[in-house]
Amino acid sequence: RRPLEARVVRVAFGAAFLFLGLGGLGGLIQSLHRTGYFQFIGEITDGNYYTVLTSHGVFMVLFFTIFFLMGAFTWALTRSLDRDLNNPRMTKYWITSMCVGAFLTSLAIIGGFTNAIPIEANVLYTMYAPLQAHPLYYIGLTLFVTGTWVAGYDWISTYWGWRSDNPDERIPLMAFMVLTTMLMWYILTVGIAIEVLFFLIPWSLGLVNEINPTLTRTLFWYFGHAVVYFWLLPAYLLWYAVLPKLSGGRLFSDPLARVVFILFLILGTPVGIHHQYLDPGIPEGFKFVAMTNTMFLLLPSLLTAFTVVASIEHGGRQRGGKGYLGWLRTLPWKNPAFSGMALAGIMFAAGGFSGMINAGMNINYLVHNTIWVPGHFHLTVGTASALTFMAGAYWLVPQITGKNLAAKKLAAVQPFLWFVGMTFMSNAMHRAGLFGMPRRTSEPMYDAFSYDPAIGTVGEVNSQIALGGVILTVSLGIFLYVIVRTWFGGEKVESPVDAELPPAMSGPEHSPRVLDNLKLWVGVAVLLVILAYTVPIAYIATDGLWSGSETYPVVVDALDTLEVLL
Ligand code: HEM
C-alpha cells in the first residue's frame, strides 16, 4: 500500500542480507583458521586474520543488524501509525547515505586483502587507537551513522504528524518501541560521533599526530555497550509484536512491554565502562559504578522473559495444549518464523548467564579478552538478534515482495541447524575461554603457548568450534537460498501471510499515561549519563585531549595490563 516505504524496506533488507552473507563467509574462515583446520588467508590474499575479523565484525554487527533494523522499523512505524513517512526526500536521503557509507567503509576493509590498492582498515569493529584505518573507513561510518540519525528524525516527525491528528490517543505499541529505541540511539551515538569526528578522522588525515587512547576507548565503549541494545530491541519488537501471534495467541501485557523499552532507554548507556575493567588509567570506583548500573539491566531482560513466555504459553493453550508443559508440544515448531524466534529467545537466556559473568568486576578478570567473550556475544547478537531477524524475514519478506515463502521444508530446518551449530561453537568458545585462550588471534606468536584445561582438551574444543562454524554456515546458506528464491522466483499472490496482529490481553488502557511521556524518560536518561560519565571523562582528559599515548601500553594484553595496575 505504501510504495516508497516498501522500497526502502526492500533496500534495507537487501543490504542487510548481503552483509550477512559476506560476514558469514568471514565467520567460516575464522573458525577454520583459528582452530588450525584450514589456514589459507595469507596464501591467497595479502590480508591476514585481522582483515577477515574486521570484515566479519563490521559486516555483521554494524551493517547486517542496523540495515535490518532500518527496514523493520520503517515497516513497524508506518504500519502501527497507519500513515506514510512524512518527507519522501528525507527518506531517500537517509537510505542513500547509509548505503554509500557502508560501501565506503567496506571498500576500506576489502582493500586490506590486496596490496594493489593502498587502502586498508585492519582495526576491527572496535577501531581502538593506536590502530589506524584509512580515512575512508571512518568517513563511511560517519555517513552511515548520520543516515540513521536522519531516519530517526524522519520517523519522529511522522509521529508528530500522527500526534497532531490524534491528540488523545495512546502511542501505538510498535511506534512506541521505535521511538524509544531511536531516542536511546541519539544518546548513545554521541560517544562514537565525538570519537570519530574530533579524534579519529583528524588523526587518520594527519592533522593531529597524537591521540589519547584511554579517552577514545572510553568514548567507544560509551557507544559500544549501549549499541548492543540497538541490535537487540528490533528483536524485542518482533518478540513482543509478532511472536505471540505466530504462536497462536496474544501479547500478555502492553504496559510491561512499554516499561521494558523505557528501562533500556534510561539504563542502556551509563554502563559502558564495564568493558574497561582491565583498562589502566580509569580508577576502580568508576568501574564499580558501571558494574552496579549494569546489574540493573537484568530487570528488563527478566521482564521480557516473563512476558514473552507467558504470551507463547497462552498461544500454546489456545491451540489445545494442556498441563504444565504440554502446551509446548502444540506450538507451530514447523513454522520457521516461530521456531527461529523461540530458539533465539532460549539462546538469549543462556547468553544472559554468561553476560552476568562478564559484568562481575572480579570474575571478569578470569574471562577478560579470552574467547569466552565471542562465545557470549554469539548467543546474544549472533543468535538472539541474528536468528530473530532471519525468522522475522520469513514473515516479512513475503509481505514486502507479495510472494509465498519458497522452499518451506528447507526453511523449517534452518533455525534448528543454527541452534545446533551455535550450541557447539559458543559452548566450546566459553570453555576455551576458561582455559585462558585469547580472543581475536590465531597468529604464530601463540603457537608455543600451552593451555591447562581442567576438563577436555584444546583439540576437542577447537574441533567443536570448527564443526559449529561449518553447521552455522550451512544454516546461513539455507536462509539466503530461501530468501533469494522467495524474492526472485515464485508468483505474486494476494496475501502471502496472515499479517493481522491481535491486540494485547492487557492493552494500553491498563498502562499509566506517564509511560508515554517520552520527554521525561529522555531527561532521566541524559541525567544518568551525565552522572555516570562526567567525572570519568574529565579525569581521563586530564592526560590531554590529543595526547596521553605515552602512558598507555600499546599492546593491551592481560599481562601488560596487570603490570600497569600493580
Ligand atoms: C567473531 C564465527 C556469525 C558477530 C567471530 C569469530 C569466529 C566467528 C570464529 C572469531 C573469534 C576470535 O578470533 O576472536 C562465526 C560464524 C558465524 C558467525 C561461523 C556464522 C556463520 C556471527 C553473527 C554475528 C557475529 C551472526 C552478529 C550478528 C561477531 C563479532 C565478532 C565475531 C562482532 C568479533 C569480531 C572482533 O573481535 O572484532 N565469529 N560468527 N558473528 N563474530 Fe561471528
Of these residues, 439, 479, 533, 552, which one is catalytic? Answer: 439
How many residues are present in the chain? 566
Residue 84, amino acid: D
How many angstroms separate the alpha carbon of residue 515 from the centre of ligand 1? 37
Q: Which of 59, 220, 229, 389 is catalytic?
A: 229
Q: Which atom of ligand 1 is nearest to the CA of 373?
A: 14
Work out the average pLDDT over 172-182: 98
Nearest to 83, CA basis, from 25, 22, 4: 4
- Residue reference for cell 496472515: 498
Top mutation candidate among 66, 378, 437, 464 for ligand 1, by most atoms within 8 Å of CB = 378
According to the model, what pLDDT value does residue 1 have?
Answer: 66
How many CB atoms sit inside 10 A of residue 200's CB? 26
Neighbouring C-beta atoms of residue 548, cutoff 10 Å = 20
Select from 18, 51, 39, 235 the least CA-distant residue to 131. Answer: 51
Grid cell locating 13: 533488507
pLDDT-above-90 percentage for the chain = 88
| 309 CA to centre of own chain | 22
Looking at the domain 3-565, which fold is it? Cytochrome C Oxidase; Chain A (1.20.210)
In terms of phi and psi (left: phi > 0; alpha: psi -120 to 50; beta: otherwise), the region of 422 is alpha
For the CA of 469, the nearest atom of ligand 1: 19
Cβ atoms of 232 and 385 closer than 8 Å: yes
Q: Does the interface predicted TM-score (ipTM) exceed 0.95?
A: yes
* 298 contacts 233 by C-beta, under 8 angstroms: no
The pTM of this model reads 0.95
Q: Is the CB of 53 under 6 A from ligand 1?
A: yes
Return the bridge partners of 55, or none: none
CA of 54 to the centre of ligand 1 (A): 10
Q: Is the CB of 61 under 6 A from ligand 1?
A: yes
Q: Which three cell numbers stand for residue 73?
A: 522499523
Extract the C-alpha cell encoding 478: 539455507
The answer to whether 229 is a known catalytic residue is yes
Closest Cα to atom 42 of ligand 1: 57
Among residues of the chain, what percentage have pLDDT more than 70? 96
Q: Could you tell me the distance, in angstroms and rounded to a whole number, from the CA of residue 199 to the centre of ligand 1?
A: 27
pLDDT at 558 over 50: no
| Cα 344 to the center of its chain, rounded Å | 13
Chain-centroid distance of CA 85 in Å reads 25
Q: Is the CB of 57 under 6 A from ligand 1?
A: yes
Angle (CA) 358 363 364, round 5°:
40
Q: Does 473 contact ligand 1 (Cβ within 6 A)?
A: yes
Concatenate the DSSP letters of all residues of 70-115 into one string: HHHHHHHHHHHHTS--S-HHHHHHHHHHHHHHHHHHHHHHHGGG-T
Q: Which atom of ligand 1 is nearest to the CA of 28?
A: 19
For residue 34, indicate whether it is catalytic: no
For range 503-520, the mean pLDDT? 95
**Identity (one letter) of the amino acid at 463?**
S
- The answer to whether residues 525 and 186 touch, using CB atoms and an 8 Å cutoff, is no
DSSP H helices, 166-297, are 173-194, 201-204, 213-241, 243-246, 254-267, 284-296
Among 3, 52, 46, which Cα is nearest to 26's? Answer: 52
Tell me if 41 CB under 6 Å of ligand 1: no
* CB crowding 512-545: b at 16 or more within 10 Å, else e: eeebbebeebbeebeebbeebbeebbeebeebee
Spatial separation of the C-alpha atoms in residues 179 and 264, rounded to whole Å: 12
Please state, in angstroms and rounded to a whole number, the distance separating the CA atoms of residues 81 and 172.
Answer: 7
Tell me the per-residue pLDDT of 3-31, one tens digit each, with 9 for 90 and over: 899 999 999 999 999 999 999 999 999 99
- How far apart CA 358 and CA 355 sit, in angstroms, is 5
The residue whose CA has the least distance to atom 43 of ligand 1 is: 27
- What distance in Å separates the CA atoms of residue 90 and residue 152, rounded to the nearest whole number? 11
Q: What would the pLDDT profile of 241-295 be if each residue is shown by its tens digit?
A: 999 999 999 999 999 999 999 999 999 999 999 999 999 889 999 999 999 999 9
Q: For 412-445, what is each residue's pLDDT tens digit?
A: 999 999 999 999 999 999 999 999 999 998 766 6
Q: Is 134 a catalytic residue?
A: no
Q: How many whole angstroms separate alpha carbon 181 and alpha carbon 174? A: 11
What's the rounded mean pLDDT across residues 145-160?
98
| Candidates 134, 274, 378, 430; catalytic one | 378
Reading the block at residue 2, the C-alpha cell is 505504501
- Which phi and psi angles does 239 have, rounded to 5°? -65, -40
